[in-house]
Copies of this chain bind each other. A is one copy, B any other.
Amino acid sequence: MANIAYWNLKKMKTTKKYILHESDMPKFWYNIVADMPNKPMPMLNSQTKQPLQPDDMEAIFAHELVRQEFSAERYIPIPEEVFDLYKIYRPTPLVRASGLEKALDTPAKIYFKNESVSPVGSHKLNSALPQVYFNKIQGIKHLTTETGAGQWGTALSIAGQHFGLDVKVYMVRISYEQKPYRKMVMRTYGAEVIPSPSLTTEAGRKILAETPDTPGSLGTAISEAVETALHSPDTRYALGSTLNHVGLHQTIVGLEAEKQMEIAGDYPDIVIGCFGGGSNFSGIAFPFLRHKFTEGKDVRAIAAEPASCPKLTHGIFQYDYGDAIGFTPMIPMYTLGHDFTPASIHAGGLRYHGAGALVSQLRRDGFVEAVDVDQIETFKAGVLFARNEGIIPAPESAHAIAVAIREALKAKEEGTEKVILFNLSGHGLIDIASYEQYFCNELQNYQPSANEINESVSKLDKLL
C-alpha cells in the first residue's frame, strides 16, 4: 500500500463544487431594464405598428407575465410555490473546472454553473415553473408551446404536471424525427407532442402546402402554438426564450453564481453563455452586468452563438416578428429574418432567428460581445470537457465551453490569470446522437474551409 496516497485533511486540494443551501437561494429575480443605460425600444403591435400595450399580449400570455414583460422594477419576487419547486434542483452547484484547466495547462481559473443537474437536464425549468404558476393562478387550464432541440418542451411538460395544467408541445419536425428520446421524455411527463408544421393549425397547413418537405423551424412551431392558444379562452402560450420575462426568470442562475463566486473568493473577468434566444446567456450575464452598470466593475459578457445561426455576429438590428407567420408583435432585435430556416443538419438548439430585445440593445451599446463557433470546434470542445469533467455537455452548452477554452488558451499565451465563468446550461445525454454523428460522419466527410480550421481547432486536436 506504499504507493497509495490516502486522503489527508491537511493537504485537501481545491474545492471542486461551491454549494449553497436552499435557504441561501435568491428570493427575487433581477430585472436589468432598471439599470441598463439605454432602455430597449418598444415592441410594436404588428397591425397598427404602434408601441405595444400590455393588453395586446394578454390573449397570448398570462397577465402576470405580461406585467413582468413591461416592468422596469429592479427586483421581482419569486412566488413561494415556485420557490418550493425550485428546491427540487436549486441552488445548483458552481463548479471549478479543474480537470479542464489541467488539460489546457492554463493559468486561467475556469468556473461553470452546473444547470444540468435539473431533472430535465437544463436551465429551462427556471422559467417553465414560474410561467406555469402564473398561468395557473389566473385559472388557465391548457398551455401550448414550441420546442426545437426539446429542452424547453421537456421543462414545460413537467412544470405543467406539477401545477396540473395540460401541455401541448409543437416540436420542430426535424428534431421530432432525429430526437425520439426527447418526445418520449415529454410523454412520460404527460404532455402531448406534435411534429411541426402540422395539419392541426392554419399556419401549419399553409407552410406544408408551400413546402411539404420542410424540416420545420422554431418560427413555424411558434406560429402553430400561438394560433392554438388564440382559439381557446382558457389556453395560453408559453415561450422558452427571447422575451424579457423569460430572461428575468433565468437570472436566478447568475444571482446564485454571484454568491458562490464570493465564497470561492473570485470575481469573473469574463462571463460566457451560449446564445439561442438569449435566456441562458441573460441568466448568467445580467446579474454581473448589473455590477458594471451600478459599480463600474470590469466584466466582459460574451454570447457564444453557432456559426450556422449567427444573428448577433452577422444579423441586422431591426424590427422583426418573433415567429414565421407574423402572429407575434414586432421586436427590436438582431435578426436573420423571421423566415430563416436553419440547415437540417443542425438540430442542436440555438437555431432561433432573433436575439431578444434586451440583449440586442446591450449588444448595440457595446456591453455584450458576441462570437460564433462552428460545429467542429463545438463538438471537440464538448468531448474535451466530457473527458476531463465527466459531464457530457448539451451541444448548445458546448458553444460556451468552446469560447471559454479560447479565452483560457489566450490567457495561457498572455500568461495572465483570468477568471472565466460560463453557464453549463444543460447535459447532452438525451442529445448524444449528435456526438455520434460528429464521431461517425462529420469528421470523415467534412471538408473544412480555411476559415473553419481555425487556430482553436488545431489546438484542441492536440489535447484530445
Contacts and interface: CB of A to CB of B under 8 A. Distances in A.
How many copies altogether? 2
A390 interface: yes
Contacts of A137: 3-4
B80 A5 contact: yes
Contacts of A5: 79-81
B389 A88 contact: yes
Interface in A425-462: 427, 429-430, 432-433, 435-436, 439
Contacts of A134: 4
A49 interface: no
Contacts of A121: 429
A256 to B, nearest CB: 14
A64 B188 contact: no
Given A6-B79, A8-B80, A137-B3, A158 B16 contact: no
Size class of the A contact interface (CB-based, 8 Å): 35 or more
Given A16-B88, A188-B383, A435-B188, A390 B430 contact: no
A64 B22 contact: no
A13 B23 CA distance: 11
A90 to B, nearest CB: 9
A2 B444 CA distance: 61
Interface stretch (A179-187, A315-323, A341-349): A179-187
A309 to B, nearest CB: 24
B16 A19 contact: no
| Candidate in A64, A78, A120, A158 with the most chain B CB atoms within 10 angstroms | A158
B87 A17 contact: yes
Contacts of A21: 19
A136 to B, nearest CB: 10
A304 to B, nearest CB: 21
A410 interface: no
Nearest to A134: B4
B432 A188 contact: yes
A22 B16 contact: yes
Contact of A22 (B15, B161, B392): B15
A432 B390 contact: no
A80 B13 CA distance: 9
A41 B13 CA distance: 41
29 contacts: A3-B137, A4-B134, A5-B79, A6-B77, A6-B80, A7-B77, A7-B80, A8-B80, A11-B80, A13-B84, A16-B84, A17-B87, A19-B19, A19-B21, A88-B390, A119-B390, A119-B427, A161-B387, A181-B181, A181-B432, A184-B432, A184-B435, A187-B439, A188-B383, A188-B392, A188-B435, A189-B387, A429-B429, A430-B432
Given A119-B392, A119-B427, 6 more contacts: A1-B64, A4-B64, A6-B80, A11-B80, A88-B391, A117-B117
